[in-house]
Amino acid sequence: MIAVASDHAGVALKTEICRVLRNLGLEVEDLGPSETTSVDYPDYAHLMARAVSDGRIDHGILICGTGIGMSMAANRHPGVRAALCHDAYTAEMARRHNDANVLCMGARAIGGGVASQIARIFVETPFEGDRHQRRVAKIEWEES
């Protein structure tokens, strides 16, 4: 199960990404919005991030104008490792080395073809573990 959400700037790209993921045989939950009426991106980022943090979904994709705001809001949640990716390489490394569980993209920063490639690579790339597991564990910072 993968969930996808956006703000108003990302609705069209979100729709395309959902189609691409379903064509890959994945079960996709569209968390909205469905209209291009202005909404606040943190509302959708928190909705997605809570679902990942609570374990209701394994991975998510967030799309806003730049992807920056979505990634900042999502990363406030425990256990969420949201990565803003602009190309195939950063998407692959986000999964392979950082075990990213949320992909963030900017609808105004990348085109639909690149975004579809990034999403496909993100969902198909496994986490390498090994030496990277130790580093990923250090991401969850707890004040002592």
Here the tokens at position 84 are: 């803003």
Q: Does 38 map to a domain?
A: yes
Q: Does 79 map to a domain?
A: yes
Residue 50: what pLDDT?
A: 97
Question: Sorting pLDDT into bands at 50, 70 and 90, what band is 89?
Answer: very high
Q: Does 124 map to a domain?
A: yes
Q: What is the 3-state secondary structure (H, E, C) of 2-23?
A: EEEEECHHHHHHHHHHHHHHHH
- Between CA 83 and CA 29, with CA 97 as vertex, the angle to 5 degrees is 45
Q: Does 142 map to a domain?
A: no
Q: Does 36 map to a domain?
A: yes
Residue 143: what pLDDT?
A: 62
Q: pLDDT at residue 60 above 80?
A: yes
Residue with tokens 């909205």: 32
Q: Does 144 map to a domain?
A: no
Q: Does 109 map to a domain?
A: yes
Taking only the tens place, the pLDDT of each residue in 97-135 is 999 999 999 999 999 999 999 999 999 999 988 889 888
Q: Does residue 118 sit in helix, strand or coil?
A: helix
* Active site (annotated) includes residue 77: no
Query: Would you say 6 and 63 are in contact if contact means Cβ atoms under 8 Å apart?
Result: yes
Phi, psi of 60 (to 5 degrees): -145, 160
Buried b (16+ CB within 10 A) or exposed e, 18-52: bebbeeeeeebbebbbeeeeebebbebbbbbbebb
Question: Sorting pLDDT into bands at 50, 70 and 90, what band is 137?
Answer: confident
Residue 77: what pLDDT?
A: 96
Query: Would you say 104 and 85 are in contact if contact means Cβ atoms under 8 Å apart?
Result: yes
* Active site (annotated) includes residue 104: no
Cα distance between the two ends of the chain: 35
How many structural domains are present in the chain? 1
Q: What's the CATH number where 119 sits?
A: 3.40.1400.10
Q: Does 143 map to a domain?
A: no
Catalytic one among 46, 59, 64, 77? 64
* Residue 10 lies in domain: 2-137
Taking only the tens place, the pLDDT of each residue in 9-33 is 999 999 999 999 999 999 999 999 9
